[in-house]
Amino acid sequence: MGMQLLRGLAAALLLQTAAYAAAPERPVVTGFDQPGLAADQLGVIVNDDDPDSVAIAAYYQEKRDIPAANLVHVRFKPGRSTLPREEFIRLKRQVDRSTPQVVQAYALTWAQPYRVDCMSITAAFAFGFDPAYCASSCKLTQPSPYFNSSVARPYAAYRIRPTMSLAAASVAEAKQLIDRGVASDGSNPAGTAYLVSTTDRARNVRAAGYAALRAQVQPIIPTEIVEANALENKSDVMFYFTGLTHVPSLDSNTFLPGAIADHLTSAGGQLFGGSQMSSLRWLQAGATGSYGAVVEPCNFAAKFPVPAVVMAHYLQGETLIEAYWKSVQMPGQGLFIGEPLARPFAGVSHPAREGGVTISARLLTPGLYDVQAAPSMIGPYRSVGRLPVSWGTREIKLDHVPPAYYRFERRAGSAPAQ
């Protein structure tokens, strides 16, 4: 690929390296970095009146090396499903004052409360309480500017901090969730995406896009459309999307570290005591992230994760919180739960070989990349060309490339190459 670019690279580098004697023996690639939320960009909100929240926050801080300054302390009566908006608004002001500017997203260290009046608590912390994100009947709500964006710093770009709850029924379960997230990092698992099409017509609305999604991602991750009300006895679940009030046979499957799973239904985000299956059941079965509505959303697909979007961002190396949040167009009534920093598909390799270099990842981020080259690691770097990367690219082979140090930087706002 890119023969015209490679000829330009060769000509430019042959001229440039002639003046230097310290060029490497083979090409060295130091760029092509993947965007992804870092631990020092995550704020952890802890309820000091809830011993479980305090214990979960301490464990999470240790496991993820969260800076102490990023722990945001609040106090409120625990154990309630819903916070009144007036009480939340006071808490939110306190949180905003205490949060370092570098923080781009939040982790909550409790499972209850999961709702603020007519919003989910994760949406309320992200946007602030705003009735525009609510609906008392079958109506659309305010969309999120973060939806399917390439933005790596949402607070800097939109003044919102995506939020996810480290939800669990006990401290022990929360620790297991955190451990799964940590174990997933850079693991590049050989799992399968299961798109389950059920007989529940009202809740099966996402199945209309399954065939197109499978065609798109099958070269990147094995993808199966399963026409059944239950997925059973699978040992490699990485993604599991379905639509039912209750999902049977969850415990017969094995979820890989970092797995994402959810069911489109009205009340999955009601984590305790609801009439439908709690989204918490996915985490208890071994998933690392899930999503559910806390207030009746009706079956608007825009109020639930779009499988194609969450899979694309996750496979490109983004964290769970980034990929999941970017997949919901209208998240005001939806609760995000899981381990925010799980990042199983992070990592770009670029080993040199005789006469060239190969750049590979589970899924390279599409766009237009500026290519710079230098005869030494410290420069001086010169622009030597541009490289278009199309959707679905996993590997780029650059042949006949002169020995030098190369940097590949994606142009901000560049559209995916076709």
Write the pLDDT tens digit of every residue in 283-292. Answer: 999 999 999 9
Distance CA 220, CA 235 (A): 19
Query: Is 197's pLDDT higher than 80?
Result: yes
Q: Provide the H-helix boundaries in 218-319.
A: 280-285, 307-315
Per-residue pLDDT tens over the stretch 53-92: 999 999 999 999 999 999 999 999 999 999 999 999 999 9
Q: To the nearest whole percent, how much of the chain has pLDDT over 70?
A: 93
> What's the mean per-residue pLDDT of the chain?
92
Per-residue pLDDT tens over the stretch 151-193: 999 999 999 999 999 999 999 999 999 999 999 999 999 999 9
Per-residue pLDDT tens over the stretch 221-232: 999 999 999 999
pLDDT at 415: 53
CA 284, distance to chain mean position in Å, is: 20
Name, in order, each residue with C-beta under 8 angstroms of 384's C-beta and a sequence gap of 6 or more: 8, 9, 12, 13, 371, 372, 373
- The pLDDT-based confidence of 303 (bands split at 50, 70, 90) is very high
Radius of gyration of the chain (CA): 23
Residue ranges of the domains in the chain? 3-33+357-410, 39-189+264-338
Predicted TM-score (pTM) of the model is: 0.92
Distance CA 175, CA 177 (A): 5
- Which strand ranges, in their side-by-side order, compose the sheet holding 115-116? 82-83, 115-116, 119-120
The CA–CA distances, whole Å, from 139 to 254, 302, 305, 328, 337 equal: 37, 11, 17, 16, 24
